[in-house]
Structures are given as C-alpha cells and as structure tokens.
C-alpha cells in the first residue's frame, strides 16, 4: 500500500478541520435555538389552556376573583325556588272536613312520611313527620289550609310552607314555614291587623296580604315573593 505523502496528509487534516468547524457551528446554532425556546414562560401556555378548558374569564388585572361563584341572596334563592303543592284547600275554596288525613313522601327526604290530619280531638290540623324511629309533630293550625314544598334556604332541601288559621271566635290567617333540616319554624303574621295567604303561581311561592278580617272578593293590599331573610319570614316585590 503506497505511503501517504506529506501534502496529502496536510490536505486531509485541512478537510477534517473544516468538517469539525462546521459541526461546531451547527451545534452552536442548535444550542442557541434551544435557549431561545426556554425563554418563553411555560406558564403562559398552561394559563391559556386552563382558561379555555374551564371557560372562565379573568379580570382586567389578571385576577380570577370575578369568576368565583358568589353566594345567592335570599331574594335570589326565592326567585329560583320551585314550589310543589301537596294540597291547598284555601285556593280551592273548600271547607275542610273533620277526620281526614293525607300523607306524602318526597325524594329529598326519602326516609320520612309526612302526614296531615284534621281531627276534632286536635281542634284542628297537625303536620307530622313519621320515620322508622319516631313520629314527630311539626306544627298545628285551626286548620292548616295548605302545604307546599319549596326550598327557601338554598340547601336543596325544601321547606314546608302553609297557610294556617288560628283562633275560635277571632280568627286570623297567617303563614308558617318549617325548615325540616334545622327544625326551625318561621311565622308571618299580624294578628287582627292583616291576614296573609300563600299562593303559588308558575312554581313561585307568593304571599297575599289582606286587610283584617279577610272577606270574600277582597283584593290584596300587597303581593310579593315569600323569602326567609335574616332569620325572619318576609315577602318582597317580585
């Protein structure tokens, strides 16, 4: 095999030097590109993807506080609530006979059987809650004219809402709302000044306020949406 001359060796080294230089240049270009890519904040992409996926919009200052869900007011709760009638003798303009009873179960309280009785021995009506363990009296009236189930507290558990009369010689009409979760009773009344009657319309629970004593064909002096507010039973303009 012929020996390589000094000139050929020199040419070979020159070519290897050029190749090495080109390789170093390429590596430098790739390294610079990699560094430039890292300069882009990774959180920008994550934030954008998060905004799109959740559908939430942040405020002008970059804060997400405006997207947080605020608790509803008592008026908003009442506006969204849907009233379901169990019975309503008052709206039907019917006299309640003695010795009658009705009962119902609802899906929000599957373990409870609610009972309404109207007996002479009780001098009116009683609402009971019956379970496997006990029977509990919730409230009374002379009589209890109606019961609607309507969630006025916003806890997804409806309250019992009733038009109730009280008295033997002097009779008034008022409203009782019973929160079965907290075992709390609320009353809206102004005895011998005004009468209050419950009325359901398109799923909303309304109050009609009448001059005392209420008379046939009387028009209410005020009407509003039934609301539990600051621990009191009130009604507000719908």
Q: What is the pLDDT of residues 70-121, one digit of tens each?
A: 899 999 999 999 999 999 999 888 889 999 999 999 999 999 999 999 999 9
Question: Per residue in 194-204, pLDDT tens?
Answer: 999 999 999 99
In a domain, 66, yes or no: no
Give the per-residue pLDDT at 68.
Answer: 64
Pair (21, 122) in one structural domain: no
CB 238 within 8 A of CB 206: yes
Give the per-residue pLDDT at 85.
Answer: 97
Pair (164, 208) in one structural domain: yes
Q: In degrees to the nearest 10, what's the CA dihedral of 207, 213, 219, 224? A: -20
- Per the structure, the complete domain to which residue 182 belongs is given by 74-236
Which phi and psi angles does 100 have, rounded to 5°?
Answer: -120, 160
Low-confidence ranges of the chain (pLDDT < 70): 1-68
Residue 62, C-beta contacts closer than 8 angstroms, at least 6 positions apart? none
In a domain, 1, yes or no: no
Pair (146, 81) in one structural domain: yes
Pair (203, 228) in one structural domain: yes
In a domain, 189, yes or no: yes
For the sheet containing 222-229, what is the strand order?
Answer: 194-201, 204-211, 222-229, 232-236
How many separate helices (H) and strands (E) can be counted in the chain? 3, 13
Q: For residue 56, give both structure tokens.
A: 């939430």
Give the per-residue pLDDT at 217.
Answer: 86
Pair (37, 142) in one structural domain: no
Pair (45, 139) in one structural domain: no
Pair (104, 200) in one structural domain: yes
In a domain, 46, yes or no: yes
Pair (49, 108) in one structural domain: no
Residues in the chain: 238
The helix (H) or strand (E) run that includes residue 75 is helix 74-80
Q: Is 90 exposed, middle or buried (0-12, 13-18, 19+ CB in 10 A)?
A: buried
Give the Å distances, CA to CA, from 106 to 115, 201, 234.
12, 21, 26
Beta bridge partners of 198: 207
Pair (29, 136) in one structural domain: no
Q: For residue 50, give both structure tokens.
A: 């998060």
- The 10 Å Cβ neighbour count of residue 219 is 8
Give the per-residue pLDDT at 93.
Answer: 81
In a domain, 62, yes or no: no
In a domain, 154, yes or no: yes
Residue whose entry in the numeric block shows the structure tokens 């990699």 = 34
Pair (25, 112) in one structural domain: no
Beta bridge partners of 159: 150
Give the per-residue pLDDT at 12.
Answer: 41
Q: For residue 24, give both structure tokens.
A: 């170093």
Number of domains making up the chain: 2
């Amino acid at each position: 095999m012929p020996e390589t001359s000094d000139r050929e060796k020199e040419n070979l080294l020159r070519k290897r030097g050029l190749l090495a230089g080109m390789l170093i240049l390429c590596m430098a270009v790739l390294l610079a590109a990699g560094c430039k890519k890292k300069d882009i904040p990774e959180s920008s992409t994550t934030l954008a993807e998060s905004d799109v996926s959740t559908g939430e919009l942040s405020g002008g200052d970059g804060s997400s506080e405006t997207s947080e869900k605020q608790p509803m007011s008592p008026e908003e709760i009442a506006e969204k609530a849907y009233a379901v009638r169990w019975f309503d003798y008052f709206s039907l303009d019917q006299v309640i006979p003695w010795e009658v009873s009705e009962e119902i179960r609802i899906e929000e309280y599957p373990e409870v059987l609610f009972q309404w009785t109207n007996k002479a021995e009780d001098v009116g009506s009683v609402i009971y809650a019956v379970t496997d363990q006990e029977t509990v009296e919730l409230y009374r009236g002379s009589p209890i004219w109606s019961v609607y189930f309507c969630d006025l507290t916003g806890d997804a558990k409806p309250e019992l809402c009733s038009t109730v009369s009280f008295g033997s010689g002097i009779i008034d009409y008022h409203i009782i709302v019973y929160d079965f979760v907290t075992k709390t009773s609320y009353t809206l009344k102004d005895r011998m000044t005004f009468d209050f009657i419950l009325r359901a319309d398109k799923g909303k629970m309304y109050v009609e306020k009448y001059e005392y004593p209420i008379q046939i064909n009387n028009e209410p002096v005020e009407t509003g949406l039934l609301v539990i507010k600051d621990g009191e039973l009130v009604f507000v303009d719908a």
